[in-house]
Amino acid sequence: MVASNPSGSAPSSFDPWEPILAAIVLGLERALTTLGVLATADAVREGLDVEGGPEGDIAFPVHRWAARAKQRPEEFAAQIASAVPASPDVGSVSAKGAYVNFTVEPSVLVSATLEGAIGLGTRWGTRPDTGGEASVEHTSANPTGPLHIGRVRNSIIGDTFARILRAAGTKVTTQYYVDDMGRQAAQITWIWAKPRSEWPDTVRAAVEGLEVPGEKPDQYRGRPYPAVSAYLKDHPEARAEVAGVLGAVERGSPPPEHRPLAQSVLDGMLVSLARLGIRFDEFVWESDFVKDGSVARVLDSLRRAPHAVREENGAWAIDTSGYGLPKDSNRVVVERSDGTSLYVTRDIAFHLQKFGRFARVIDVLGADHLLHARTLEALLAEVGEARRPEFVLYAYIHAPEGGKMSTRAGTAVYLDDLLEEAVARARKEVLQRREDLGAADVERIAEAVGTGAIRYHVIRVAPDKPVVFRWEDALSFEGRSGPFLQYSYARASSVLRKAERDAGPYPFDAARLTDREELALVRVLSRFPRTVAYAARTAHVHAVAGYAHDVADQFNRFYHAVPVIRSGAERESRIALVAATRQTLGNALDLLGVPRLDSM
């Protein structure tokens, strides 16, 4: 039989397990009814263990049903097993202990999975447009210097989640909230607006000799920051100048250099993110909410909010005692005594704008912003907004020597340094293995391997797990790593290339794929749609990383266990299996932002 595109009968939300599960649920429903126990399809479905157990693909623990039938579980399981009517989708039904185990008819799963993967191509594992629109705000790092790897966890989680949501049928707009109103941004403007001759000696000394022609503007502009910060500590007159810049920004009339400086630093940061495949649909400037009057409108409604309080010095606050915020004070100041706004206030304006445009508003935030998130929710309630953002929180990456990554303390590990190191190491590996390649190909592969290693290293761990950065782990190209996935993808590509079957079609005979490792591979592949849906629903982006490793792992076992090109009657079917693997692994790599490589 020839692989056909099943999208005609079932739209691209295609899960090979659905018909099988439906048959099992129906069988169990009938069996239970026969045995005198009332069962709804939903209740049966709920009790099904779709990950299976040691005895089959799908397991059904019968304890609660046995209790209802007043039977011993072991006996009841046996009764159910013999009462389940035969179905072509289900291979075997058996009872073991208190469990009824179902084993699928392999050819059914093989056909459905290969047809899904090959027929749907890049749409395999995805769902059609569900009509939902979401904003995913991520990164949003202050444009004051190069990104460090702790910050990049935000970017990688956010970008990956955006990709997964798109695969799940949601229209996503990624947003970078550019904070040009912070003290650090004011410090950048303060120092760079002066001619170099007027810089404090300590600051000039700190940058001298480090500047290299052609370096990225975030590196160039951000370099004085630690020295500036130290200088300001004991120079009150300079502090007053910075405060002047900040005040002008807050009043909506920043110095002319302010925005261009922030923009140039941002441009430098974006160059590095682009190497990781991270780009943004929109940039939203915090100061614009002051300029366009929306912050003033927010302040207006906050002053009339149910729990608004006027402080003695004229500042406005919200009494948050009814919201149970975990803070010592039960007040949140929303307007300073000088009439200017604060970060939370502006964030309200931003969120009101988001709610006006998107059905779902998703914010990727470091765990240190949890209180901010709770405060935001309280203040949204105060201004009469019923909707709330969804927060994806992640724990920080700690410096190799422990503690927070800090630019000022010099403990930060910068993305640019990590990129350089990873790509250099990848280059070395490529050169060792491939004497046949030209310089351009070596470089292309090294870049893909180095950046892929970084993305995978960060995304493989659950977001709420605190991580200590270790160079040797981040630069690992073996085992559970990005390059291992890329290598497996390249290996699958290589097989297809050598078989001169790069493009398909991929006809197969499901009955020819009976080897243990072949069927194990099909089972892994068949889980792809379920995995994508799970990751989209729970924001457990790392589930896709674990899944991709499972695919690569089982593919390599298969590869070593059975020949493909040199096989006989199974050849066509095995080629199709390799093609399905390549498609699945490729789609998973796309979701992770790890570059595909056809050879390495």
The tokens of 401 are what?
A: 């020597």
CA 188: distance to chain centroid? 31
The tokens of 186 are what?
A: 């004011």
The tokens of 302 are what?
A: 């906050």
The tokens of 425 are what?
A: 């190491």
Q: Which of 288, 296, 322, 295 is nearest to 308 (CA)?
A: 322
Q: How far is the CB of 5 from RNA (least distance, A)?
A: 27
- Cβ of 445: how many Cβ atoms within 10 Å? 24
Residue 278 CB burial class (10 angstroms; 0-12, 13-18, ≥19) = buried
The H or E element containing residue 243 is helix 236-250
Is the separation of the CB atoms in 277 and 155 below 8 Å? no
Q: How far is the CB of 452 from RNA (least distance, A)?
A: 9
Q: With respect to RNA, which residue has the nearer C-beta, 229 or 494?
A: 494
Q: With respect to RNA, which residue has the nearer C-beta, 48 or 191?
A: 48
Residue 408 CB burial class (10 angstroms; 0-12, 13-18, ≥19) = exposed
Own/partner pairs, 441-446, CB within 8 angstroms, 24+ separation: 445/597, 445/599, 445/600
C-alpha to C-alpha distance for 460 and 455, rounded to whole angstroms? 9
Q: How far is the CB of 255 from RNA (least distance, A)?
A: 17
Q: How far is the CB of 400 from RNA (least distance, A)?
A: 12
Q: With respect to RNA, which residue has the nearer C-beta, 215 or 319?
A: 319
Q: With respect to RNA, which residue has the nearer C-beta, 215 or 441?
A: 441
C-alpha to C-alpha distance for 271 and 279, rounded to whole angstroms? 9
Residue 5: partners with Cβ closer than 8 Å, 6 or more residues away: 115, 119, 120
Q: How far is the CB of 494 from RNA (least distance, A)?
A: 3
Q: How far is the CB of 222 from RNA (least distance, A)?
A: 15
Q: With respect to RNA, which residue has the nearer C-beta, 53 or 226?
A: 53
Asked if residue 505 has a cis previous peptide bond (ω within 30° of 0), the answer is yes
Is the separation of the CB atoms in 372 and 380 below 8 Å? no
Strand partners, 393: 365
- Cβ of 219: how many Cβ atoms within 10 Å? 19
Q: With respect to RNA, which residue has the nearer C-beta, 120 or 152?
A: 152
Q: With respect to RNA, which residue has the nearer C-beta, 238 or 461?
A: 461
Is the separation of the CB atoms in 366 and 396 below 8 Å? yes
Q: How far is the CB of 448 from RNA (least distance, A)?
A: 9
Label the pairing between strands 308-310 and 99-104: unpaired
Q: With respect to RNA, which residue has the nearer C-beta, 5 or 556?
A: 556
Q: With respect to RNA, which residue has the nearer C-beta, 235 or 557?
A: 557
Q: How far is the CB of 6 from RNA (least distance, A)?
A: 25
Residue 307: partners with Cβ closer than 8 Å, 6 or more residues away: 318, 319, 320, 322, 382
Q: With respect to RNA, which residue has the nearer C-beta, 215 or 553?
A: 553
What is residue 362's three-state secondary structure? Answer: strand
Q: How far is the CB of 461 from RNA (least distance, A)?
A: 5
C-alpha to C-alpha distance for 330 and 320, rounded to whole angstroms? 5
Q: With respect to RNA, which residue has the nearer C-beta, 282 or 464?
A: 464
Q: How far is the CB of 8 from RNA (least distance, A)?
A: 30
Is the separation of the CB atoms in 533 and 168 below 8 Å? yes
Q: How far is the CB of 42 from RNA (least distance, A)?
A: 12
Query: Which DSSP letter does residue 590 get?
Result: H
Q: With respect to RNA, which residue has the nearer C-beta, 9 or 538?
A: 538
Q: How far is the CB of 118 from RNA (least distance, A)?
A: 18
Q: With respect to RNA, which residue has the nearer C-beta, 64 or 279?
A: 64
Furthest-apart CA pair in the chain: how many Å? 92
C-alpha to C-alpha distance for 553 and 340, rounded to whole angstroms? 57
- Number of H-type helices and E-type strands within the chain: 24, 13
Q: With respect to RNA, which residue has the nearer C-beta, 210 or 409?
A: 409
Q: Which of 129, 125, 127 is nearest to 531 (CA)?
A: 125
Q: How far is the CB of 503 from RNA (least distance, A)?
A: 17
Is the separation of the CB atoms in 551 and 585 below 8 Å? yes
Residue 436: partners with Cβ closer than 8 Å, 6 or more residues away: none
Q: With respect to RNA, which residue has the nearer C-beta, 104 or 449?
A: 449
Calculate ∠ Cα 218-224-226, nearest 5°: 105
Q: How far is the CB of 527 from RNA (least distance, A)?
A: 12
Backbone Cα Rg of the chain? 29
Q: How far is the CB of 214 from RNA (least distance, A)?
A: 28
